[in-house]
Structure formats: C-alpha cells, structure tokens
Structure 1
C-alpha cells in the first residue's frame, strides 16, 4: 500500500458532512478512507463512479397547468392504466425511498 502523505482540503456543507460521517462511522470507515476509496474509483472508472446528469423529465407542476394541460396529463395516466404500464404503490414508494435515501 502506498504511503499516505498528501493532504486534501475541501469545503463541505456542515449538514452533509455530519450525515455522511454518521453513516461512515456506523460502517466503521474513517472519512479519509472513504475519500481515498472514492478517488480510487474515479481512477478505475476514468471518471465519476456514478452518473451526473440532469433528469430526463421534471415532475409536473400541477397548480400551474391550464385545464386543457391537466386533462392531457389525466389522459396520459388513463392510457397507461389501459395498456398495463403501471406499478404497485408499494414498488413506487420503495423507489422513492431508494432514490431519496429515506
């Protein structure tokens, strides 16, 4: 293993730092080791080890819709139901919890 002799200084939002360090502590991983693992993954992946992109679509702003736009959105939902393109509510909530780490 290479000698650790380089320092890294970064500004991090206090709340983000606190939450991350609680999780790392529960995992038994010091923050410096986690940062080192992150950097190694950057090297192995030749980029960030996760997708960094804008969402392909935005949630519909229901209050801002006109009556015609609202009807069009409702029709999309109805068409999805008719063609079987639906998910169980429990699966949707599981996805939300996963996406937002809840």
Structure 2
C-alpha cells in the first residue's frame, strides 16, 4: 500500500458562512475535510473553478419574486441585521461605484 502525503489548509472565513455551510454538510453526512478535498479535486478536473462566477444584471424586484423567494431573502437580511453583519451604506455604494 502506497503512503499518501497530506497537507493542511488554513482558511479565514466569516463565522456565519462557515456555520451555514457546515450545517448543510452535516445534513448531507459529509465531513468538512472531505468537502474541501472534493472541491479541490473538482478544481483539478475542471482546470479552474467548478462553477461560473457571475454578477446578476439586476437586483430581484419584489413583484417578480415568488413569496418563498422573497421570504427567504428577507429572512437572510433580518438574520444578518440581528448579528450586526452589515456594512455602512456609504461603503457599499463606494464599492459599487469603484467596480463600474
């Protein structure tokens, strides 16, 4: 049997993102290390990220959203507000203007 070398990956990530992802992984029965290994292997197989990176062309409009989608979006926003997980509006608009 061949001996496989392993390496560590240390990452800084927002606590709420980590918790949400790990809750989903737990539901799926996939350990965090296995999920990270799977992600890295997909990067290798795809010779890049295994998904496309896009910016939505527009922000969803309430009239165009289903009730479930609207409530999910509002629940996320409310949860972020309760955790004080937000940015001052001036900074958000400044970042948006710089990105144009």
Normalising by structure 2, report the TM-score.
Answer: 0.55
Q: Report the equivalent of 1:23.
A: 24
Mapped partners of 1:60, 1:94: distance in 2:
12
Larger radius of gyration: 1
Give 1:33 deviation, angstroms: 0.2
Q: Which stretches of structure 1, 4 residues or longer, exceed 2 Å deviation after superposition?
A: 1-4, 92-97
Aligned to 2:15: 14
After TM superposition, the structure 1 = structure 2 runs for residues 31-46 of structure 1, keeping only pairs within 5 Å, are 31-46=32-47
CA RMSD across the alignment: 3.3
How is 1:20-99 mapped onto 2 (pairs within 5 angstroms)? 20-55=21-56, 57-59=57-59, 93=66, 96=69
What TM-score, normalized by structure 1, do the two folds share? 0.54
Paired residues in the alignment total 69
